[in-house]
Amino acid sequence: MSVQTADNIRHSFVVACFIFKFSKNNATPQVALFRRSDQVRTYQHHIGPISGGIEANESPIQAAWREINEETTLTPNELDFWRHGNPFTFTDTSVGRKWTIYSFGFRLKSQEEPSNGALAIEIDWEHESWAWYNPAEILDEEHFGGVPRLAESFRRVFFEIDMNEQTSLALQYCLQELKEDHRSGSHELTSIALRGFRDVLVNLKCDSTPWITARTAAWHIWKNGRESMGSATLNALIGALDDMREMLDRDVISEACWDQVLSVVDHHLEYRRKMPLRIKQSFVTYLQDHYSLSQGSNGSQPPQTLTLLTLSASSTIRDSILDAFAATSIPRLDLHILESRPLFEGASMASSIITEFQTKFPPSSTQSLNLTIHTDASAALASVNVDLVLLGADRISSSGSISNKTGSLPAVLSAKHVSPNVKVLVFSGLEKVAPDTEAQHEAEENDPGEVVSSWLASDIKGVHLLGEMCDTHTRNANCTAQVRNVYFEWVPADLIDGYICENGTLDRPAIYAKAESVRMKASEYFSTV
């Protein structure tokens, strides 16, 4: 994709795809670089990554996968997506182009490739040769023969180049922990991210540019950990950077100042630990405002039953439901929980709530719990006579739409149809508010084996064939099968009645104002790293 600028310079948006090969015996990977042929339009015979323009209606990551397949024949069967880098822009007047570069890193899945990688990569007409390089060899110097700003594009993905060994190891460990944790909710993952950021800071004492490195590390934790759940991480990191900026952005940093830097992160971790308590109190206030909890002057009586529908395993919802119920005089709580496939987090949350209820409410209590677990497919049946649908949020867009566990939208649509007076409430800290719209957010694809495994365990007839077709890539087959395992989906803002946050119950304008604040801070801290 390209546009003509006012000064007659064409502005092109392109991807730069770096393919890495990891060895069992060497912690430092090698990266594949390709020498461009004389048939390409620019930078003939220069060395660079797989690259190409982003087409209309195509996201950068979609363009990256397309270019890799076109130029090397590699597919997701041979490659894992690893990281992406912070985009940057520069102008090359020698070719009349302004370039915006989106860098991506991919890893060969097999560690058993031959030394020349010939069985893995087949180049097309755009390249005349290719080779593996040590990352330290890649330089933005004329004698290297690279395309303009090659090293800059590379370091955006491979941060290890700019960090000391202990700092980069701490950041690598944090990213790996975030990527591999598919059980924790956004709140817990953000605490993991902050603790990982603290470990990075511990190792920055000998860094010559600690403020730049801290911001670089924060960007990677936000974007290359679990970006689908990264809005809370972004807000938490921005808050920490705000508080430590004056300490780190200086030439000399004392030992006492380093202690203060670490205490900033500790303070934010403690603040987050108390956040569920504040959200819980907001829910109590909501119930008091919207339900008659005691006999009033007009003779109204408290309802005999409060019926709630929820799903997945939001720790914020789990921690709020019973304490809020205990603060009312409503005799009975009917709680409907969807099982939440493929990992059945809803069933896990149901077990946790039962255990907590038995602890907090003795048999002599005047309040009772009737809990029902429903299959995901029976969301409509689970919605009968429901008063409130309670949803967590892994991300809240600037418009007020929320990204939550897949199954949230069917649950809301079912409840709005079956029980027209139902209210949909989102339980979330303001840290979940993101600076972008839902259209700017990529869906997170996860291992289809999580879905297939439950079929295999039930010995469903013919399911082994599906598993084989999903695991084996047949380029020329006229029959293909795919199992998708998307964890999150969007619930539009116009289906949501309120956002239960640490500051009370908010509306859409308040969410938009928060999103704008986050956008400006993210631009300030991350536009130059």
What confidence score (pLDDT) does residue 294 get?
A: 45
- Domain map (residue ranges) of the chain: 2-158, 162-274, 279-441+488-526
Gyration radius of the chain over CA positions = 26
Q: Which of 429, 104, 84 is nearest to 236 (CA)?
A: 429
Q: Tokens 């302004």, residue?
A: 98
126: amino acid identity, one letter: E
- Cβ atoms of 121 and 32 within 8 Å: the answer is yes
To the nearest 10°, report the CA torsion of 407, 412, 414, 418. 150
What confidence score (pLDDT) does residue 118 get?
A: 45
- Residue 191 CA to residue 263 CA, distance in Å, equals 15
DSSP-derived letter for residue 311 is E
Paired strand residues for 18 = 105
Q: Provide block-wise average pLDDT over 10 residues at a time, the chain (529 residues).
A: 67 95 82 94 94 92 94 90 94 92 92 50 91 93 93 95 93 94 82 95 89 95 86 91 90 86 93 88 89 50 88 86 88 95 91 93 92 96 96 91 94 96 94 78 74 80 67 57 85 96 93 93 90
What confidence score (pLDDT) does residue 475 get?
A: 46
State the helix-helix crossing angle for 508-526 and 230-248, rounded to 10 degrees. 50
Two structure tokens written together for 175: 């990213």
- How far from each other are the two terminal CA atoms of the chain, in whole angstroms? 24
DSSP states of 202-220 = HTTTT-SSHHHHHHHHHHH
What confidence score (pLDDT) does residue 148 get?
A: 95
- Residue 308 CA to residue 412 CA, distance in Å, equals 12
The CATH class of the 2-158 domain is alpha beta
- Cβ atoms of 23 and 110 within 8 Å: the answer is no
Strand, coil or helix: 170: helix
Question: Domain 279-441+488-526: what homologous superfamily?
Answer: Translation initiation factor eif-2b; domain 2 (3.40.50.10470)
- Residue 456 CA to residue 360 CA, distance in Å, equals 39
Predicted TM-score (pTM) of this structure: 0.76
Q: Tokens 């597919």, residue?
A: 75
3-state secondary structure string across 356-372: HHHHHCCCCCCCEEEEE
Q: Which of 246, 320, 250 is nearest to 285 (CA)?
A: 320
What confidence score (pLDDT) does residue 528 get?
A: 85
Two structure tokens written together for 468: 């084989």
Q: Which of 326, 319, 318 is nearest to 362 (CA)?
A: 326
- Residue 85 CA to residue 16 CA, distance in Å, equals 10
Q: Which of 87, 84, 67, 65 is nearest to 76 (CA)?
A: 65
C-alpha triplet 285, 290, 295: angle, nearest 5°: 95
